[in-house]
Amino acid sequence: MILMNDFAREPAELIQAQVSAAERVFRSGWYILGNEVKAFEERWATLCGTSHAIGVGNGLDAIEIALRALAIGPGDEVITTPVTAFATTLAVLRVGATPVFADIDPGTGLLDPSSARTAFSLRTKAILPVHLYGQTVDLPTFSALAQENHIHLIEDCAQAHLATYDGRPVGSWGVCGAFSFYPTKNLGAVGDGGALVCSDQNLAQSALMLRNYGQSVRYYHPVEGLNSRLDELQAAILSCRLEWLGSFTARRRAVARLYDSGIHDTRVVRKLSKPADLSRHVYHLYVVVARDEQTRQRLQAHLDSVGVQTHIHYPVPIPHQKGCTRMRTVDSGIPNALRHAQCCLSLPCHPGVTDDEVAVVVEAVNSFARHG
């Protein structure tokens, strides 16, 4: 089977480096908030072009901590996208705020700034776009939108590690950026992990407190925080894996180029729009769009029958999730998001997939389109 992710194929050299890093932590005798976390945070902030990085327990918490550090809570609205991992919205719900859904651009699946523009109300406190599939949203437009309306731009960077827009990394455009280091992300730990990046000293200070029970100095708690810290062990692993991120991203882009040139755009299956600039996409996922829901189902079955695993990112628009208990949607609705959820399909695109395997996937998609 050609898998969506295949960690068994990781380079032996990387595995060995991770074993040594883990051993270093075991021998240090220090497991929570020590030098490994500090070193990784410093390196990550530098790479993201921000003054601070705060290691946290996971990507969901990174967004929740960002919202809480910005004093966003009950009665406030946060504009976001209906096509994303549930965690983006869950963070908004957890702080007691109301997510407001605008529609997406059908060419990319990304939050559409012109639809987002219609989502504002007097209660709007932030806009939370997602760099979905590894593609950067239109950052200059979203930055301008946030500035004009005197609200915060918070970037969900969980799928777009070190993607850049006009040379500036994601996470450095908004007031802050939230990362996940879930194992399947472009930079992943061997368990859960996350980080918040920002350049505002006060925001960084709040986030540092919030991740550690709301503690200012030992045993003093000026705010009600949470327990959400990046482990020393995960930080040590992440520092190893960071050495490989550049080559892994290059390989993801090469795989995407093979799909771009190999897969024919047809009435049956189309590709998402290519970014204007390659640095704007780190190909967390490579997504195609089928003609309709039935075609997607048949395409997925066909690929499965020739040994190609695929996933759907995401089958249910967030406002249609039962767990989305509080929300608002723009007046014009989210027709593009509904269609995308019915028709999108993600193909294997990870650093370990071979050219021969990509060729198998390409041929399977094209032959389906010829007969489908």
Ligand X SMILES: *Cc1c(COP(=O)(O)O)cnc(C)c1O
| Residue 171 binds ligand X (CB under 6 A) | no
When the beta carbons of 115 and 186 are compared against ligand X, the nearer one is 186
Judged by beta carbon, residue 129 or residue 299, the one nearer ligand X is: 129
Which of 140, 162, 143, 167 minimizes the C-alpha distance to 277? 167
Of 95, 29, 28, nearest to 61 by C-alpha is: 95
Does position 231 interact with ligand X (CB under 6 A)? The reply is no
Residue 130 is a binding residue for ligand X (CB under 6 A): yes
Q: Determine, following the binding rule CB under 6 A, whether residue 93 of this chain makes contact with ligand X.
A: no
C-alpha distances out from residue 215 to 62, 84, 96, 206, Å:
17, 32, 22, 10
Binding residues for ligand X, how many (CB under 6 A)? 15
Is 158 near ligand X (CB under 6 A)?
Answer: yes
Helix axes 355-371, 232-262, angle to 10 degrees: 50
Q: Does 18 bind ligand X (CB under 6 A)?
A: no
Interface residues for ligand X in 31-60 (CB under 6 A)? 58-60
Q: How far is the CB of 129 from ligand X (least distance, A)?
A: 10
Structure tokens belonging to residue 257: 């180029």
Pick from 18, 84, 206, 249 the residue near ligand X by CB under 6 A: 84
Q: What Cα–Cα distance (Å) separates residue 101 from each residue in 117, 239, 278, 329?
A: 11, 36, 28, 5
- In degrees, rounded to 5, the angle at the alpha carbon of residue 168 between the alpha carbons of residues 33 and 91 is 50
Is 159 a binding residue for ligand X by CB under 6 A? The answer is: yes
Residues numbered 192 to 221 that lie near ligand X (CB under 6 A) are 192, 194
Axis crossing angle, helix 355-371 with helix 293-305, rounded to the nearest 10:
130
Choose between 189 and 263: whose C-beta lies nearer to ligand X: 189
Beta-bridge mates of residue 231: 32
Which residues bind to ligand X, rule: CB under 6 A?
Answer: 58-60, 84-85, 87-88, 130, 156, 158-159, 180, 182, 192, 194
